Amino acid sequence: MKESAKYLFSVGVLLLMLPFLLTVILSGKGAVSVSKDIDIEMLLPVRLYQEIPEDAEAEMIKAQAILARSRLYRELSEGGNAREILEKNREYEKAHTVYPDVMTSCRQAVADTEGLVLTYGGQVVEGPFFACGNGKTRDGIEVMSKDDYGWLVSVESSMDIDSPGYLSGTLFGRADLYQKLLDYTGDTSLKEETVYEQISVLSTDSAGYVMEVQVADTHLSGENFRKLLELPSACFSMQELDGNLRFLCKGAGHGLGMSQYGANVLAEQGKSCTEILKYYFPRCDVMQR
């Protein structure tokens, strides 16, 4: 009797699984996946957790969730693999201490903004963000040199000036700076004894960020230069100080799009997530995907 029951149960399971098995056999594993809609919402909380600053206001987290969803939507629509992203999320959760209350806030923000993305002309856009600026965000066309970024315009973000990360200094001695620059550029005209004098800013954008730097005979973009030296921002000035070269930086991050510090101030003032995004992306709309 028990054997008969087990047999009937097995047959029932097989019949239920048959469509799935046939799909895998005929089309391969890649043909079976959850829908993109479900994937995006499922993937968002962990990615959002990695992006938000400490003690973020609820509406700021929602604004960040919309930007994260917009970037993830574009990533998947351009060939990104949802399962690989999910696996990276799992690896992150295993490797880092994830605070349950913060993750709960992220899940709530994702749920409260479900399906909402940042758009321009009906198309989803990336939605860039950075930690804090120098008091003004950067213009997309000016920085990227592409008309496609006409939606990304410069706006005032004067609240950033009050951020603890607004002003910072980084010191380099001659030997250390010389070695870093030589390893990156391979420029043999670079000399250790005159390395400070061989660095000059060639141009800045309208927001005050360095666009191009000359190092001996080599030209570098401001962003590549700041990443090479691990500077907080490409909005910097240089001064020789007690035998070292000091880079005095304003803000933290690339300066394009939404300032997280500024967004949090707006949230504290009672602005909604959509009002925050409209402030930093005045030419864009928040729409249901």
Alpha carbons within 13 angstroms on the beta-carbon side of residue 46 total: 18
Q: How far is CA 125 from CA 76, 84, 190, 285, in A?
A: 13, 22, 41, 10
**What is the per-residue pLDDT for 39?**
67
Adjacent-strand bridge partners of 199: 215
The DSSP string of 202-250 is EEE-TTS-EEEEEETTEEEEHHHHHHHTT-SBS-EEEEEETTEEEEEEE
Cα Rg for the chain, rounded, in angstroms? Answer: 25
**What is the per-residue pLDDT for 22?**
32
pLDDT for 232-266, tens place per residue?
A: 999 999 999 999 999 999 999 999 999 999 999 99
Identity at 99, one-letter amino acid code = Y
- CB count, 10 Å around CB of 148? 11
Q: Are 207 and 235 in contact (CB under 8 A)?
A: yes
pLDDT for 114-126, tens place per residue?
A: 999 999 999 999 9
**What is the per-residue pLDDT for 37?**
42
pLDDT grade for 15, boundaries at 50, 70 and 90: very low
pLDDT for 59-109, tens place per residue?
A: 999 999 999 999 999 999 998 888 898 899 999 999 999 999 999 999 999
Structure tokens at 59: 């509406």
Is the pLDDT at 13 greater than 50? The verdict is no
**What is the per-residue pLDDT for 83?**
87
Q: How far is CA 173 from CA 2, 82, 192, 203, 224, in A?
A: 81, 45, 10, 24, 20
pTM, to two decimals: 0.84
Is the pLDDT at 278 greater than 60? The verdict is yes
Adjacent-strand bridge partners of 170: 247
**What is the per-residue pLDDT for 1?**
43
pLDDT for 129-180, tens place per residue?
A: 999 999 999 999 999 999 999 999 999 999 999 999 999 999 999 999 999 9
User: Closest Cα partner for 60 from 126, 121, 131?
Assistant: 131
Is the pLDDT at 7 greater than 50? The verdict is no
Report which DSSP code applies to 190: -
User: Closest Cα partner for 112 from 62, 64, 70, 68?
Assistant: 62
Report which DSSP code applies to 53: P
**What is the per-residue pLDDT for 27?**
31
**What is the per-residue pLDDT for 289?**
86
Is the pLDDT at 46 greater than 90? The verdict is yes
**pLDDT mean over 45-69:** 96
More confident residue, 109 or 6: 109
- CB count, 10 Å around CB of 186? 9
* Residue 115 falls in which region: left (phi positive, over 0), alpha (psi -120 to 50) or beta: left
